[in-house]
Amino acid sequence: MSQNHVSGMESSAISVLKRAVELDHSGRFQESLVCYQEGIQLLMDVLKASVKDDSKRGHYREKIKGYMDRAEQIKSHVNQLKEDGKYHEQIRISEDATGHSYESLFKPYMSSFLTEVWVEDPYIRHIHQLYNFLRFCEMLLKAPCKVKKVHLLTSQDEADSGQQRGALSEIKESLSAQGVTLDLQYSSTIHDREIRFDNGWIIKIGRGLDYFKRPKGRFSIGYCDYDLRQCHETSVDIFHTKHTKTL
């Protein structure tokens, strides 16, 4: 393995672990745990590649042990909060912030045990909102889990129900071809926005899935990659419960 490649892995590890510490200090423990785990794995890869430098190997071993100890402490703390039903974390997305794609936001809570998802959002009606839901479903399909059923409870678009129903029907058919069932229901009284995973995680976003700003143009940065898309200001509350409800 070339020295440049090792240096690149080391830089990546430092970046990820720096983010882990920042999240840790902010009380965003589940997210920090994921970053610690990714950073530790990168450092272990660097350690394996540094076979001829004993001083570096000792340095990496010490760093890995420190980060692993902290990751275990966080894991125990989070597990205890989940056991007591007291887990609550809040993420604030500031106006015009970037880096908050669905993958970035939901990844820490999508374990391999995830098989069923409930989405309660009154605003899956207009074209851009329907695309948001489609992107959310695509994110579920790419995740390291086996989601088999998605429930969507939303309100009906009274101005153009045909467009809404047609789009959701197409999404349902497309998901079915991937082995995923979409259970679609409408409500005229729905107001709250909530996403539930059957592994116990509950994510409540103030603006629901519709927290991205309109891009400046079809060929503007952020049009395709939602990590580069500017956001509206909103808050995200994350809870954990042993019992998930059926919407």
pLDDT tens, position by position, 93-109:
999 999 999 999 999 89
Task: Judge contact between 157 and 121, C-beta under 8 A.
Answer: no
Give the residue with greater pLDDT, 206 vs 79: 206
pLDDT of residue 245: 47
Rounded to the nearest 5°, which phi and psi values hold at 124? -115, 70
pLDDT tens, position by position, 142-185:
998 999 999 999 999 888 889 999 999 999 999 999 999 999 99
CA 3, 8, 14: angle at the middle one, nearest 5? 125
pLDDT at 247 over 70: no
Task: Report, at the CATH architecture level, how domain 88-240 is classified.
Answer: 2-Layer Sandwich (3.30)
pLDDT of residue 243: 52
What is the pTM (predicted TM-score) of this model? 0.75
Give the pair of three-digit tokens for residue 221.
């940065």
pLDDT at 68 over 90: yes
CA–CA separation, 14 and 225 (whole Å): 24
CATH topology of domain 3-84: Methane Monooxygenase Hydroxylase; Chain G, domain 1 (1.20.58)
DSSP summary character for residue 234: E
Give the residue with greater pLDDT, 82 vs 68: 68
Domain boundaries, the chain: 3-84, 88-240
- Label residue 21 exposed, middle or buried (CB < 10 Å: 0-12, 13-18, 19+): middle
pLDDT of residue 190: 92
Distance of CA 116 to the CA centre of its chain: 15
pLDDT of residue 246: 46
**Which residues are within 8 A (CB) of 149 and not within 5 positions of it... i.e. 6 or more apart?**
115, 116, 117, 180, 181, 182, 183
**pLDDT above 70: percentage of residues in the chain:** 95
Give the residue with greater pLDDT, 2 vs 133: 133
